[in-house]
Amino acid sequence: MNLPLLTLIIVLVHLAGLVAATHAVMHTRTPQGAFAWALGLALLPWLTLLPYLYLGRSRFHGYVDLHRRHRRQLDLARSEAIQPPQHILERYGALSTMLDTPFHPGQALRLLVDGGATFTAILAAIAQAEHSVLVQFFIIHDDGLGRRMQQALLKRAAAGVKVCVLYDGIGSYALPHRYVETLRAGGVAIHPFATQRRHNRFQVNFRNHRKIVVVDGAIGYVGGLNVGDEYLGQKPPLAPWRDTHMELRGPAVGELQRSFAEDWHWVTGTLPPLHTPPLGQGSAHTLIAATGPADRQESCSLFFVTAIQAARQRVWLTTPYFVPDSAVMAELRLAVFRGVDVRVLIPSIADHTTVFLSSTLHARDAVRAGIRMFRHHPGFMHQKVLLVDDDTAAVGSMNMDSRSFRLNFEASALNVDRGFAADVDAMLRNDFSHAVEFDESEYDHAPWRRRLAMHLARLCDPIL
């Protein structure tokens, strides 16, 4: 390569870096993220331009516009809600207002611990479907569990049931084309989710991380599990896999249906089958928090903030990725100062090394603030559960990291009910009994190279 051509390439790359740095300053959501991207793009464009193409966008317009413009149309999936008791409004009313989502009374809830219980319940409900089955997962694998799900959906489609399936285009990148085509050939409507109708191979942000199943508009499932053998604990070295899902019956199922309908309408331009849920026969008040980057507020982060603020006796959290933002970390600290029992359960082994390293450093800082941190044993802990005092429990897909807070579409059910909270309490007590409490020695006694790696990993927090 001659010198003038090389000089021209260098100049063009640096000019492109400056253009991208300007874009980052104008469009990145957080000051920390904007500063990190701008500095890297301006000084080291050779290293940062390509990652910015994949990770740099922090907002989009097409889905946002549809999300807001058609929200009233999609209210077809919503039944009339009754005003919740005053004590619920006082604690969680701001969350309901922010999400424009009511608490629904009369929910019958069932806690589903681990993959065996979860998919036994889901597959049994699908087998009984008479009208419609709506299925949405971040990951679907073509393995033992994936093929069981495939056959269950094909059987209902063959029986005349309307079956609609969404999977995330990046999360399910390994799903073979033949798996999808087999479902389509059998009458199942199935599509990958993407936030741009025009394919953009450089866009890996804005993933649809929701895990939702709705059967006949009457039974709903939400939680942390995807469709794959590893979620049944059948793939070392992450086995046994620890996770949690839940079953809902009652009007709140309409909110799960509505969340699915928004995503389906974006992908297909049509609405899926919608049914009015039957009246609830249970005792729980449930709010479905379907959050994402289409929201005007950083609703997932504020979901955690609101729940932690409501605590007076305890906040017990489980998360596979402990990378809290400043707002959530401040609320956890304030809860400790109020005398609240704050405990966080995180994994003892990593499925993503960078996140694990950053989580370890955040855990050290949390312990210094009086937050009790625990590492789960054995295997990998993937559940996303929140327990507040003796009456409130949330189960869903929300991780405690920037991707869930700002970049991913998530869904969780916040339930106010002493009976359900007691079930979650028993589950978490068993989890904590098998956990090892984290202390600062894990950081202090680590080799300096590993400590350096932790601090370098934390620099990546805005994109973890």
Asked if 410 and 288 count as a contact pair (C-beta separation under 8 A), the reply is no
Catalytic residue flag (residue 263): no
Query: Alpha helices, DSSP H only, in 100-236?
Result: 114-127, 144-158, 177-185
Considering the candidates 384, 391, 401, 461, report the single residue annotated as catalytic.
Answer: 384
- What are the distances in angstroms from CA 25 to CA 36, 37, 38, 456? 10, 8, 6, 22
Instruction: Let me know if 377 is a catalytic residue.
Output: no
Q: Point out the catalytic residue in the list 168, 389, 417, 461.
A: 389
Name the residue among 206, 442, 462 with its Cα closest to residue 354: 462
Query: Is there a contact between 392 and 420 (Cβ–Cβ < 8 Å)?
Result: no
CA dist 187 and 164 (Å) reads 10
Name the catalytic one among 67, 104, 141, 209: 209
Residue showing tokens 């589950």: 427
Q: Which two tokens stand for residue 244?
A: 């949690």
Of 382, 391, 431, 461, catalytic:
382
Q: Out of 168, 216, 417, 461, pick the active-site residue.
A: 216
The CA–CA distances, whole Å, from 374 to 100, 342, 398, 441, 458 equal 35, 11, 19, 13, 20
- Tokens representing 89? 């409004």
For the question of residue 162 being annotated catalytic, the response is: no
Task: Given the residues 67, 104, 141, 211, select the one marked as catalytic.
Answer: 211
Q: Is 382 a residue of the active site? A: yes
Distance CA 243, CA 66 (A): 33
| Cα–Cα dist 388/314, whole Å | 6
Distance CA 406, CA 36 (A): 17
Distance CA 89, CA 97 (A): 10
- 237 prior amide bond cis, ω within 30: yes
CA–CA gap between residue 259 and residue 257 (Å, rounded): 5
Structure tokens belonging to residue 300: 């997932």
Concerning whether 389 is annotated as a catalytic residue, the answer is: yes
Q: Which residues lie below 8 Å from residue 380, measured CB to CB, with a gap of 6+?
A: 238, 239, 241, 242, 320, 347, 349, 351
Does residue 216 carry a catalytic annotation? yes
Q: Which residues have a catalytic role annotated?
A: 209, 211, 216, 382, 384, 389
